[in-house]
Structures are given as C-alpha cells and as structure tokens.
Structure 1
Amino acid sequence: MNWNKLLQYGELLLSLLVVFLMLVASVVYGGYLFGKKIGEMQETDSVAQALPAGNAESPAKPFHGDMTLEKLRAEDSLAASQKDSSAINSSADVVNKEARSEKASAEEKKVQDVQPQVNKAEENTKSVQQKTSAKSEPSISAGASSPSAAQLSEMGLADVVLTAYGKGLWQVTNAAGKDNGTIVASEPFASGVKGYAGPTPVFIYVKPNGTVSAVVAASNAETPDFFAALADEGLFKAWNGKTTSAAASMQVDGITGATFSSHAVIQNVQAALKHYHANTSAKKTGTEEKAVLTKPTKSAEVVQSKSTLSQPETEQDHTKQVPMEKKPSPQEDPSVAAKETDTDSQSVADKPNAVPSAKSASHAAYGAEAPDAEQMVRLGLQDVLLEVADTGVWNVKARDGRSVGTLLSSAPFSKNIKGYHGPTPLYLLISADGKIKSVLPMSNEETPDFFRQLEEKGLFAAWNGMTISEATAAEVDAVTGATFSSRAVIQNVRTTLARYQHETADNDISPVIGWLKTILVLVILAAGVLARYRFKKNKKVRVAVLALNVVVTGFFCGQFLSLGMIRDWVADGVDFIAVLPAFAMLVLTLILGFLGKPNHHCTWVCPLGSLQELAYRLPLPKVKLKPKAYKVMRYVRLSVFLLLMLLAWTGIAIDGILDYEPFSAFLITTAAPAVIILAVVFIVASVFVPNVWCKCFCVMGEALNLSQRKD
C-alpha cells in the first residue's frame, strides 16, 4: 500500500471538506443573523405599538441612541405601576376626603406660604453643589470632549469658562472674563497614535504667555500599573514651563517598562502642540505675550461656542455639547450682554433643550462631537445655534429661534459598522420639513484615493431630498472598486436614520461582494486545492487556475489578502460574513501550511502572484539569474517585513506604507495611480524575471511563509 499517496488523498479530502464546511457555516450563520434581525424588527414593532401616543397625559419619550428593548419595557412597566399606584391613592383620597378636607386645606395654605422660600433654598443648594463638586470624574471619551471638573482641577483651574475655537481647542477665561490661556485636546490631531491597548489622549493647558502649564491624561485602555509609571517618572511634567514651539520639538525619552504607552503620550503631546502652534500667533499685550488664534476665516467667525464646567459630570452624564452661534457686537444687538451673562451662568446640562445622555469612548473618537467650523460650512449651516437633543443629535435653530432642522452624527447609532480600515462616521442634516438635506463624511482612516471616489460618484448626495422613511428603505448601489467603504456609508445612513426613528435598520447580512461572487471565489479556491493535489504536473490545469485567479478572483471579485487588511482585522475587529472570501483564503492557506503544504496562497490563490507567473510564461527573452540572486531577494523580503514590524512595534504608523501594497490595483477604477503604476512595473519586470514582487518585496507572503511548517 502506498501510504504517501493515501496521505495525499486524505489531505485533499480534508481541504475540500474545510472549504465546503466554511461555505455551509457561512450560509447557516447568515441565516441565523437574518432571522435574528427579523425577530428584533418584530419586537421593536410590538414595543412601538405598546408605547403610549404623544398626548398631554403621556408624552412621547425621545429616543436615545443606546436605548434597548429591555429599557423600554422597564420604563413602560414603571409607568404602569405608577399609574396603578395613582389610582389606589386616588380611591383612598375619595374615601377620606370629607374627614380631612379642612385639615388638608389648612396645610395646603401653609405649604403655599413657605413654597417660595423652599424653592429659593433648593436653588441655592444646587448652585453650591455645581460650584463645589469635582469629585466625580467621568470616563473621558478619547480626548475629543471637553475636560471634566477633576481634570480641570489637575490643571489648577477652577470656576472657569471654556470657549471652543475649533476642534480640540478651548479658550479658558475666568468668571471675570479674563483670559486664562488655552486647553488643547490631542485626540483630533493624533488619531493614528496608539499605545499598547489603544489611544492615549491627553489635555494640554497652555498659559496666556504661550508656555505649557500642565499635561493631563484622558481615560484610556492602557494597563493601569504601567500607565501609572508614567506619572511616577514625571513624564507628564516634562513639558511644563516650555513654550509651545519648544515643547513640540523637544526630545523626551520614553519610560523603560512602559515603552508603548510613553511613546504614545509623547507623540500625542507633540502632535497637539504642533497643531496649536500652527494655529496661533504671538500677540504682544504690554510686556505679556498672549497666545491668540490666528485671523479666523468666515466660517470660524460664524461657529463659536461657550460652555461652563461648574456642573459636575457623572458616569451617565458627561456629554456636554456646546451651542454654536455667531457672536454679534453690542452695537448689533443690545441684548448680547444679557444673553452672554445667562450663557456663562448656566451650564449645558441646565438648558431646557439639552438632554444629557451616556456616551462611550468610541463615540467621541469617531465623531460624536459637534461639527467644527469647516464642517458647518460644508453642511450649509451658517449663523445658527446647535442645541443638544441627545447623544449625536442636535436641534438646529436660526438666530431668531426658528427651527432649521436636525443634525445627526452616525457615530453613536452605528459604531460597529466599519469600512475597509475602520469606522466611517457621517453627519446627516435633516431639514425642518423632514427631508435629507446633506450627508457629510467625517474624518476616517479609509484610503483617501478610494474614499474620494464616493463623493466624485455622488454617493453622499444619493439621499438628498428623501424623507427619513424613504432614505431608510432606499436601495443605493455601492461604488464599484470601493465596495467596503461605500457599503459602510450606506449602512451608516440606514442605521442612523432607522434608530433615530426608533426602528431597526434593514441592513443586508451578506458578504460585501455579494453571495454570487463569494461562491465563485470559494469554488476557485476548491479548484486550486484539487489542482495542487491531483493535477499538480498538468500545465494546462495550472494555467487555467492562474487565469481564474486573475480574471475572476482579482478583477471581477476584487478579492486578495494583504498585510494591511490583516492589520485592520486585528486592530478593528472583523465581520466574518462581510469578508468571507478573503477570510476563507487565510484559513485555507494556514490549514494547508500546517499540513505540510506551504506557500499555497502565493502559488495557487494570489491574483497578483498568478498574474506575474502568467507574464513570465509569455514567449519573450528571459533574464537568467544565479541562485545567489534569488537568495538575496528572499533576504530583502525578510528585511522589509522586519523593518515594518519594527516600525509598528516602536509606535510609528505604517498605515501609509501598507496602503501601497499593489494588490488593490485589481480595483482598477478606484485604485490610486501610484498603486497601479507600482503593479504595472512589477508585472512588466516579471516578464523577464519570475515573480519579482513575490520574491523580493511581498510582506504578506513573508508573514505567511513564517507561519507555516516546511517539509
């Protein structure tokens, strides 16, 4: 008996079984998720029908982005209990009404006499609590929100007013209106900087003379013992007393034993100070040098904000969005002084239209904060007031109090929806008549050349003029070549609008490229496995598999594996159904590598590798290299891979480098020109030297090679 051949057939059957089981599992899992969505929709409909209509006795409750069915049921049960209790109390009152009517009347009169005094005492108590309470520190959301009372105390600030002058910048003034300096948040300017467990944002307090007074850490996911070492070693005090320009460029050593965290903090401080220094200018005021904003643009004059931080925040109430309006001079509006006095003395939480709600760290990190001046202009909003209605929801009003519409941020409603490189948050402007007026993308980590295609092809304008119901149900086609990004944008719009209306979004539970293309890719994967085991020496079969990899898997389906993709899966999580074809490629090559069949992806699956091999098969003169040259190529590839890993380990972002892996050239309609040129160069080179990219530069191939067992 030929045991080797029997083993080969066993491995072949096992590989085919794995592919088949993955296909079956994906269909079953997709059906399960679809059924779960249907069930949620039915439950939501039943709860919505059970909720009381908005009348005088039972007003409709505003929907919060993080409300669940359980919370709604609990609220309804509580309301019912209160109603029953009221009925019982009412009956008891009727029974005893005659016996105590005279006594009740006398007591009621006494209460009415002392009620004004009680109200005044309560107001005084509340005022004292607002001014003195700074013990409850909320979780700060990745540095984009204004600092808490406790963090202001760390900076040595108390009873101050913060006026937002753009994204991540607040002017600090005391109760008398005197300039106390500026606070800078690092998160908007260092979004790609991460420590060991994620972002490590900081707040920087800059004095009026332009020197750094304090650096305070916002909350983060770093290991507490490691992060505490940074403060113990004096890292946060390293910049104190330095001018912003000197602090931004000074070399600060990392902390031994907490290298990731300390390097991330240093980079956060440098990024924030460079942005601050670039957007401020020194203005002499007598002998004092005062940091002031550079001459504002028209939009910056329109969009300003002011809020006080005397109101303590809690774990469930730490979202403070600020109203945005143009500040008229006293000559333009005599009531300005009174209005500003009211604004200064009244916190956002006390305002009638400001409904505080919980907000997770990821919300602010991906755009739950109010839009900045430039975004307001792009939304077509000028000289307006934003009033917080809920997390990620603002009422837009004109200066005369007239409602202009509603502004939504998708971040709190669809934080789990991701594009190719991560979340793709949006602002959605709804006009007063309930129609979509504008959809504006916020900052994200998508490849700029790909994401730009969405706007050029009109994706963001696809919902303009639709009602919320129409936009939620609209079938908007994804942009070919930027499928991940466009699909994420479409789902963001649907989910945000549906949840804003207290509905369940009807998002498809399917691979990004659709089930037909997914099945084609899985069939080609199975054909590659069959060809390797059964027809390995048949040249015609191999050429056919290579051609299928290039034409179907590459150009038609746009599927491939890249190190940038794997990096994003690890960093941001992965929806296995959405990326099923690529995930199947990875699982298959790892299984075969474990079974002693290395390099299966590179030689039998990869579209770019297949295209290079087909190019080398062209009947043209070849360049004959010595074995030593190929050995040098392998060392070059290993060196490139190790260099990238070293850069990533030291905290240097490698996103920009990995964006130029030439695999995306198969998405020819949206690929960056530089990527297409790079791919063409290596394909032409492969006409004369076999698989130049694969042998010399492919870091994805090197990563797979290091992970597999060799015979």
Structure 2
Amino acid sequence: MRKTTLSKKILQSITIVLILLAIALRLGGAREWFAPSKERQLEITDIQNVFPNASSYRLKSDKSIEVRSDKSERIGTILSSVIYETSQLGYNDVLPILIGLDLDHKVKAIAVLDNSETGEFMSHVYDSNLLSKWDGKQVDTTLIQRKVDAISGATYSSEAIIKGVNATLSTYLSIEQSHQLNWLRITQLVLVFILMLCSLIMVFTKRFKNYYFYYLLAVLLVFGFFTNKMLSLSIFETWLQNGLPWYTNVELILILVASIIMTFIGKHKYYCNYLCPMGALQMIVSKLSPFKKRKFVKKVFNIDLRLIYLCFIWASILMGISLPLSSMEPFLAFAYSVSGWLMIGAGMLIIIVSLFFNRPWCALCPTGCALDSIPSFKQKK
C-alpha cells in the first residue's frame, strides 16, 4: 500500500513539475499573458490566399493594400483586419481576416489567416461555405447591412468572421458601426453563472442534494450542448500559447480559477463532479442504468494510467511535438455537427461502458488528472 502511494506521489510530483515548467516557459516567452495575442505582420503568402498571382503589394494612405502582379499590373485591393485593427475574438483567440476586392470594387474572396481556433470548428466553417457569402457583392453600405447567419456548431468562430468582415468594411468606408447586444451570449453567461452558483451551494450545503440528478441534466445541456464550454488539455495549451481570452471565455477561465481554489481548500474533484458535462453524462447514465456498477480499472502494475497519459502529453508539448489534443479527449463529441464519426463513436462507447462501470472516462481523463495534481492545503485525517 505504501509503495502504491509513493508511486502515485512521485508521478503527481512529475506532473506538477511538467505543468509548472510549461507555464514558466510560456510566461518567459510572452509577458502579456493576460491579454489577447498580438497579430503578426502580413506576408505575400497571405495576400496570395486571395490573389494567387500576386507578386507585390503596398500600403496606401487609407490603410488598404494595393496588390500587383509580376508584371506590375494592379489586380485588386486587400482590406486587412490586422491593419484596421478590426479582428474579432473567436472561441480561443482573434480571427484575422483578409477581404479581397477586384478592380470593379466587388468582393473577390475572403480569407482567414492563421489562428488558434480548434481545427474541427474551423473545418466546419470552411465546409459551410461561409466565406463565399460575400463573393461578387459590391462594397457599399448595403453590404454591411446584409444579414449573414452564424454557423450552427461553430458559433463563436463564424460570428467572429462575420463581425470581422462588417467591422473591416465599416472602417474602410468610414461608417460608424452600431453595436447590438448579443442576447445569445448574454443568455449563455447567465446560465453558466447560475450553474456555478448552484454548484457552490451544493458543495458547501446539503440543502439541494435531492436535486443533484436534475442539476446534472442542466450541466449536460448547458455546458455540453448549448455552450460547448468545458475544460480540456487543448484549451490549456491554447491559453499557454496565446494568453487568456477574457472577452470570449471569461466563464471558462472563472471555472478554472474556481476549480483550483476549491482544490486548495480541500474540495477535490469540484469540476469533475459539478461542472464537467462528460462527468455529468456518465453519472446520469449510471443512475439510469439497471445494471450493477463496477469500478473501472485505471491502474496497471500499480501505475496510474491517466498520470502516465498526462505526463506524456505535457512532455510532448514541452519538446515541441504537435499533438492533436482536441482528439485525445472525447469532449468534441458534444459538438456533434462538427466532430467526426470517430469522436461521436467515442462518446457513444463511453455511454455504453457507463451502463456497467462507474464513470469510466473519469478514470482516464488527463484534464481531471491535471486538476487532481493541484495540492490541497487542508490537512487530511
């Protein structure tokens, strides 16, 4: 028993060291960690995403970009949200865009520059042909007033593109843009904060213990399917690389802060038990299942598998190895319109296994392991 405890403590210590080293390297690389990342300068390869035969370009006095071919012929104009400072925040970070105008002052194409959005969400945006909604339209005030709907399943990313296009065109045409309340966003924030408040009440009191099942249903619907807000290693990596996106993800940042504080004061697994939609899904299935539940085996030769998994991921990140972190955890299964069949199948498998075992994914979850690695200042008996 002592050997098992010692091995677990050693692996936890290694995990903590790796996480702190990753954070230290990130803070050493960029001092403005709490601000959105700065957008890089444009290159000719960016211009060629809109005008493939572009050879040179120059910035004009109105901040538009004149594009010329290898024969020095003018072939069009580029409007850059980077230069106009009109890039909008998506789910993880800003989404810089380029708007290409032909010689007739019509939209030739719109391109999205390199960004930190989740690849599956951006692929869904591209597949929906959102970027072609403005093609061939004359650039005037009616184009700004044109209604373009966000893409279901990639709401944050698509809204950032739509708002970025409108803001960039408005700045170019010197039109003051009206700001409207985003009632969907407000609704999401209200529901998230209500659930956070309910979770804290349940942790510190037993008054609503009988309503825990219905609370889990609300967590599943709100965090899983409505907002797609959940902590993951993919989110942690993006934040380490680009800083904390307070504007678009303030609720998720507050959830992380609350989870750390709760662990400090001895309330372990606060996030896993009260705010994680995958944990809520497994507990709901377990409560509804008529079968006798067994404890899911997560150790091999007294070694915690999820600690090994987490150490492997953090070590890979530190060594510069690119991992598809969004695909290494099944959370994208909630965004069924975006995720592939493999991820949906992983979600279905977790549901089936949950009929017979208690929270099988929680026994392997590296995100939960990362949160569990946080030491508690409360003395244990």
TM-score, normalising length from structure 1? 0.44
1:702 aligns with 2:369: yes
Structure 1 equivalent of residue 278 of structure 2: 608
Structure 1 equivalent of residue 18 of structure 2: none
Measured after TM superposition, the shift of residue 609 of structure 1 is 0.2
Measured after TM superposition, the shift of residue 553 of structure 1 is 2.5
Q: 2-side partners of 1:667 and 1:526: how far apart?
A: 25
Question: Structure 1 residues 492 and 414, CA, compared in 2 at 3 Å: closer, same or farther?
Answer: farther
Structure 2 equivalent of residue 664 of structure 1: 332
Structure 2 equivalent of residue 579 of structure 1: 249
Deviations 1:472-498 (A, max 9, x none): 444433212112321222233233333
Question: Structure 1 residues 544 and 634, CA, compared in 2 at 3 Å: closer, same or farther?
Answer: farther
Structure 2 equivalent of residue 673 of structure 1: 341
Name the Cα RMSD after superposition: 3.6
Letter of the 1:488 counterpart: A
Question: Structure 1 residues 430 and 412, CA, compared in 2 at 3 Å: closer, same or farther?
Answer: same
1:598 aligns with 2:268: yes
1:476 is paired with a residue whose SS is: coil
Letter of the 1:635 counterpart: D
Q: 1-side partners of 2:362 and 2:193: how far apart?
A: 23
Q: 2-side partners of 1:621 and 1:197: how far apart?
A: 47
Deviations 1:325-347 (A, max 9, x none): xxxxxxxxxxxxxxxxxxxxxxx
1:653 aligns with 2:322: yes
Structure 1 equivalent of residue 153 of structure 2: 481
2:40 is paired with a residue whose SS is: helix
Are 2:26 and 2:240, in contact at CA under 8 Å, matched by a contact in 1?
Answer: no
Are 2:192 and 2:223, in contact at CA under 8 Å, matched by a contact in 1?
Answer: yes
Deviations 1:166-204 (A, max 9, x none): xxxxxxxxxxxxxxxxxxxxxxxxxxxxx9569xxxxxx
Question: Structure 1 residues 707 and 580, CA, compared in 2 at 3 Å: closer, same or farther?
Answer: same
Q: 1-side partners of 2:26 and 2:239: how far apart?
A: 15
Q: 2-side partners of 1:648 and 1:679: how far apart?
A: 25
1:456 aligns with 2:127: yes
1:389 aligns with 2:59: yes
Structure 2 equivalent of residue 559 of structure 1: 229
Are 2:80 and 2:97, in contact at CA under 8 Å, matched by a contact in 1?
Answer: yes
Are 1:665 and 1:679, in contact at CA under 8 Å, matched by a contact in 2?
Answer: yes
Q: 2-side partners of 1:603 and 1:221: how far apart?
A: 35
Question: Structure 1 residues 608 and 649, CA, compared in 2 at 3 Å: closer, same or farther?
Answer: same
Are 2:56 and 2:69, in contact at CA under 8 Å, matched by a contact in 1?
Answer: no
Are 1:554 and 1:607, in contact at CA under 8 Å, matched by a contact in 2?
Answer: yes
Structure 2 equivalent of residue 213 of structure 1: none
Structure 2 equivalent of residue 442 of structure 1: 113
Measured after TM superposition, the shift of residue 520 of structure 1 is 1.2
Structure 1 equivalent of residue 40 of structure 2: 363
Q: 2-side partners of 1:551 and 1:372: how far apart?
A: 40
Structure 2 equivalent of residue 684 of structure 1: 352
Q: 2-side partners of 1:551 and 1:361: how far apart?
A: 34
Q: 1-side partners of 2:72 and 2:344: how far apart?
A: 53
Structure 2 equivalent of residue 644 of structure 1: 313
Q: What is the percent sequence identity of the aligned residues? A: 24
Letter of the 2:344 counterpart: I
Are 1:481 and 1:670, in contact at CA under 8 Å, matched by a contact in 2?
Answer: yes
Question: Structure 1 residues 372 and 703, CA, compared in 2 at 3 Å: closer, same or farther?
Answer: closer
Q: 2-side partners of 1:502 and 1:433: how far apart?
A: 19
TM-score, normalising length from structure 2? 0.77
1:439 is paired with a residue whose SS is: strand
Q: 1-side partners of 2:233 and 2:134: how far apart?
A: 35
Structure 2 equivalent of residue 624 of structure 1: 294
Structure 1 equivalent of residue 76 of structure 2: 405
Deviations 1:586-616 (A, max 9, x none): 2322232233222111001111100011111
Letter of the 2:259 counterpart: T
Measured after TM superposition, the shift of residue 398 of structure 1 is 7.3
Q: Which has the higher contact order (CA 8 A, sep 6+)?
A: 2
Measured after TM superposition, the shift of residue 542 of structure 1 is 1.1
2:244 is paired with a residue whose SS is: coil
5+ residue gaps in structure 2?
A: 1-23, 32-36
Letter of the 1:406 counterpart: T
Are 1:398 and 1:404, in contact at CA under 8 Å, matched by a contact in 2?
Answer: yes
Structure 2 equivalent of residue 467 of structure 1: 139
Q: 1-side partners of 2:47 and 2:177: how far apart?
A: 31
Question: Structure 1 residues 370 and 468, CA, compared in 2 at 3 Å: closer, same or farther?
Answer: farther
Are 1:395 and 1:407, in contact at CA under 8 Å, matched by a contact in 2?
Answer: yes
Measured after TM superposition, the shift of residue 701 of structure 1 is 0.9
Q: Kindly tell me the number of residue pairs found equivalent between the two proteins.
A: 347
Q: 1-side partners of 2:298 and 2:68: how far apart?
A: 68
Q: 2-side partners of 1:609 and 1:580: how far apart?
A: 22
Question: Structure 1 residues 373 and 428, CA, compared in 2 at 3 Å: closer, same or farther?
Answer: closer
2:294 is paired with a residue whose SS is: coil
Q: 1-side partners of 2:171 and 2:304: how far apart?
A: 53
Structure 2 equivalent of residue 73 of structure 1: none
Letter of the 2:200 counterpart: V
Q: 2-side partners of 1:536 and 1:594: how far apart?
A: 24
Q: 2-side partners of 1:398 and 1:491: how far apart?
A: 30
Letter of the 2:373 counterpart: L
Q: 1-side partners of 2:92 and 2:327: how far apart?
A: 10
1:432 is paired with a residue whose SS is: coil
5+ residue gaps in structure 1?
A: 1-194, 199-219, 224-359
Measured after TM superposition, the shift of residue 514 of structure 1 is 0.6
